[in-house]
Amino acid sequence: MKKLQSSTAAKVCAWIVLLCAALGAGVFGVRALLSFQSVTTDTWQSGSRFYNARENRYRELIDGVYLTQRLELLEKKVEEGTADAVTYADIEALKENRAGVEEHFSRDNTWFRFCLTDADTGKTVGTNLAEGESMLKAVKDIFRSTIELSEESWLEYGYYDPSAYGYEIAPGDQAGQNADDTQAVQPRRLVLEYGVPEEITNVEIQDEFYHIWQAYENDRVSFDQFLTGFLNLGALAVIALLWVLWSAGHKKGRSEIVTTWQERIWFDLYAAAMIAAVVTLAFCTIGVTEQLYWSSTSLYAVQSESYDSFFKLGVMGAGALFAAGVGCGSLLLRTFTVRLKARCLGKTTLLCRVVTWMVRTIHDFIRFLPLTWKVVLGFLIYTMFSFWLLTQLWYDGGWILAWFLVQIALLLFLSWWAYGYYRLRQGTKTIVGGDLEYQIDTRRMPYDLRLQAEDLNNISAGLSAAVDEKMKSERFKAELITNVSHDLKTPLTSIINYVDLLKTTEQTDPKAQEYIEVLDRKSQRLKKLTEDLVEASKASTGVLSVTREKIGMGQLIDQALGEWEEKLNDRKLALVTTLPEGETWVYADGRHLWRVIDNLLSNCSKYAMEGTRVYLDLERGKGQVTLSVKNISRDPLNVPAERLMERFVRGEESRSTEGSGLGLSIARSLTELQGGTFELAVDGDLFKAIVTLPQAN
């Protein structure tokens, strides 16, 4: 199918079929139009052709009456002896003309029937009825007319030379009067009855009425055939046109739409030229058809030997004009289709380019105006237009509908703007709430609000990218710490094992024994630091498994105090505990909670001032359990509380103690993994850690 669509031969054949079908449809259409009136009228005497032929006969008969009137006046001059040579010549010419009229209206030469009667005497002046025949039986419809042989009637029927009919008008006289009233021609009134028989029985009388009747009968028989031919060929032309439009722009070996020289012409200019050509050809087709319509009933035309060839040639000419119009229209539709397929209709339309440029210029001007100026400009336009409408309402109350429509339009615009602002606010709240992936929908949003929404979306995307980068960096650091710690474990384990072996040997040198103890202490500290690094890394990244269950907090504290009581006493730290009566149950992971308490007591033993007290309080209520540990710091706390919870940060900056700066960070991470909160408070040298966990029912 694609090959056939791109085939040049198929396109040429489609154009040939289109034009041939249009030519045939035009020929059959012209014949159908010529026959159309025959099938829409009840009788052959109802058409316009019969009416015109009858009126022409009537005018000719009136001419004959006036001709007879003049002939009588001239013969009267002959009788009175006032005629001259010119008068005798006119009489002979008038007699010949009257003979021609009588022959033309003879019963043997025409189907036109008439009866001319003197209105005053009732005497028949002239007729072509048979003897004893009446007009009522001779014709289908009787038409009557009164003829007054006076100057007024002469003027009415358009005879512009009154002297030719015996009327002499002196200067200053009134119309219809002579200078000598005694010689004035007295008006004469005649009654004319005329018509045409309903049935044509004698084919030997072939006047215009016979041809009208014959054309009527032939048209009634052939109209269905002409109409069928027109519809069939028209359908074929439409199919060919659809094929032409479907294949337009496609070329063998090319995947894109191929344009021609037609598409390089401005479409509106091309369309104007083609539409003008189509309209001109349509008028020409109608004109030729009209000429054929009237000539088909003309007695002088049909009696011509070449009329049949002329009629057929005229029908073919009208069909050719119709086909040419179809061809021009098809070319216009083809280039329109190609431009649509190539998506260049707007670019190749001059008017569209001009309008687009104007709209873009105005749009850019308004768009780059500040929002304040836009509001002011819009308000001024609305005020001026409303004032103009109100002035119109003063004179015409019908403008009230326009005024209401303007108010409704303003209400809809403000509602649209308010809804866009609402969507912007909701999106801003969502982003502020922490959903950095959220994107505000900017479709059908006012321009200024859309710009603001796009900026927020870009900020959201930037923040999300920054957070992702930070998380990536954190994961990288955590992985680095984990890997380094893992790599340190193997040699560290060997060092510890060899130190343990050295401790089992007897050393004679006291210095060697001292060195072994230092190695043992430092290796254990390095082991603890490595384990803290790994645990801090896992806790911060959330990869530790958490199994939350109902745990007795008091019992866990007692166990921890049992382990740390001796160490605290060595540092001369007095432990003061305040525990509620009965067991306090929390919903937590026992292993991780133990590590939190252990880190807090370890922090006290390392950094609390000797000779002071360490307070440990446990409270419960409102669905929460709070553990607080307070002590007096040995060194000044010149670091904010939030910074103390960061990794590798210690209260004293000299790093002379055994602390690694990871205990509080690990405690906070483990607490948060269990669904609790970890807070620090620093007041001078007073250090306070607060752990809050959900209470278990």
Task: State the CATH number of the domain containing residue 553.
Answer: 3.30.565.10
Q: Which residue has the higher pLDDT, 629 or 449?
A: 629
What is the pLDDT, as a whole number, of residue 653?
A: 52
Mean pLDDT of 647-672: 64
Residue 199 — left, alpha, or beta (φ > 0 → left; ψ -120 to 50 → alpha)? beta
**Residue 649 confidence (pLDDT):** 55
Q: Does one domain contain both 305 and 404?
A: no
CA dist 176 and 162 (Å) reads 9
- Render pLDDT for 394-413 as a digit per residue (tens, 0 to 9): 777 667 888 888 888 888 88
Using the predicted structure, report yes or no on whether residue 158 has a pLDDT greater than 60. Answer: no
Angstrom distances, CA of residue 344 to CA of 252, 270, 339, 352, 561:
21, 15, 5, 11, 85
Q: What is the mean pLDDT of residues 300-309?
A: 64
Do 287 and 375 fall into the same domain?
no
Task: For residues 113 and 119, give the distance between their C-alpha atoms in angstroms, rounded to a whole number.
Answer: 19
Mean pLDDT for the chain overall: 81
pLDDT of residue 539: 65
One domain for residues 643 and 556: yes
Burial of 30 (0-12, 13-18, 19+ CB in 10 A): buried
**585 lies in the same domain as 557:** yes
Structural domain contains residue 279 = yes
Query: What is the model's pLDDT at position 181?
Result: 44
- Going by pLDDT thresholds of 50, 70 and 90, the confidence category of residue 685 is confident
Tokens of 203: 């084919």
Q: What is the pLDDT of residue 655?
A: 45
Average of per-residue pLDDT across 676-681? 90
Domain ranges, residue 428: 369-432
Same domain, 324 and 404: no
Evaluate whether residue 677 is within a structural domain. Answer: yes
pLDDT for the residue 626: 93
Matching residue, tokens 């001292």: 514
What are the tokens at 156? 């009415």
SS3 535: helix
Q: Is the pTM of this model over 0.75?
A: no
Asked whether residue 317 falls in the same domain as residue 383, the answer is: no
pLDDT-derived band at 317, boundaries 50, 70, 90: very high
Quick one: what percent of the chain has pLDDT higher than 90?
16
Residue 483 CA, chain-centre distance (Å), reads 61
Q: Which DSSP state fits 251?
A: B
What is the predicted pLDDT for the residue at 24? Answer: 93
| Residue 342 maps to a domain | yes
Beta strands in 153-233 (DSSP E): 189-195
pLDDT at residue 16 in the model: 94
Q: In terms of domains, do 669 and 607 share one?
A: yes
**Rounded distance between C-alpha atoms, residue 313 and residue 295, angstroms:** 13
Q: What is the pLDDT of residue 207?
A: 82
Looking at residue 254, the DSSP 8-state letter turns out to be: B
Q: How many domains does the chain have?
A: 3
Token readout for 69 is: 């009137």
pLDDT over threshold 90, residue 542 = no
State residue 666's pLDDT score. Answer: 80
Do 411 and 340 reside in the same domain of the chain? Answer: no
Given 432, 460, 476, the domain boundary residue is 432
Digit-coded pLDDT (tens) for 2-50: 676 677 888 899 999 999 999 999 999 988 888 877 777 778 788 777 8
Is there a domain that residue 150 lies in?
A: no
pLDDT of residue 478: 67
Give mean pLDDT, residues 498-527.
79
Beta sheet of 124-127, edge-to-edge order: 124-127, 113-118, 189-195, 143-148
φ, ψ (nearest 5 deg) of residue 435? -85, 85
User: 291 and 390 share a domain?
Assistant: no
pLDDT for residue 167: 43
Between residues 441 and 370, which one has the greater pLDDT?
A: 441
Most confident segment among 372-376, 457-461, 556-560: 556-560
Residue 327 has pLDDT above 90, yes or no: yes
Q: 337 with 374, same domain?
A: no
Residue range 608-640, pLDDT digits in tens: 899 899 999 999 888 899 999 999 988 887 676
Is 201 in a helix, a strand, or coil?
coil
Say what the pLDDT of residue 414 is: 86
Helices (H), 81-146: 85-104, 135-138
Residue 537, classified by CB atoms within 10 Å of its CB into exposed (0-12), middle (13-18) or buried (19+), is buried
Q: Do 573 and 646 have their domain in common?
A: yes
User: For 445-449, 524-528, 550-554, 563-567, which range has the lowest pLDDT when averaged over its residues?
Assistant: 524-528
Cα distances (Å, whole numbers) of residue 498 to 261, 275, 347? 95, 106, 87
Query: pLDDT digits over 238-259, tens only?
Result: 999 999 999 888 887 777 888 8
The pLDDT assigned to 643 comes to 64
Residue 304 lies in a domain: yes
Nearby residues of 120 by Cβ (< 8 Å), 6 or more positions away: 188, 189
Q: What does the alpha-carbon distance between residue 333 and residue 275 come to, in Å, rounded to a whole number?
A: 11
Domain for residue 339, yes or no? yes
Residue 218 resides in a domain: yes
Does residue 200 form part of some domain?
A: no
For 362-395, the pLDDT digits (tens) are 777 777 777 777 788 888 888 888 888 888 777 7
Task: Write out the two tokens for 141.
Answer: 């419809």
Contact (CB, 8 A) for 28 and 233: yes
Identify whether residues 288 and 383 lie together within a single domain: no
Instruction: List the structure tokens of 158.
Output: 């358009």
Q: How far apart are the first and last CA of the chain?
A: 77
Q: Which residues contact 419 (CB under 8 A, 6 or more apart)?
A: none
Decide which of 19 and 528 is more confident.
19
User: Does pLDDT of 481 surpass 50?
Assistant: yes
Q: Tens of pLDDT along 172-188?
A: 444 444 434 434 556 77
Answer yes or no: is pLDDT of 273 > 90: yes
Question: 332-357 pLDDT, tens per residue?
Answer: 999 999 999 888 888 888 888 888 88
pLDDT digits (tens, 9 = 90+) for 202-214: 778 888 888 888 8
Cα separation, 118 vs 23, in Å, equals: 57
Say yes or no to pLDDT of 650 above 70.
Answer: no
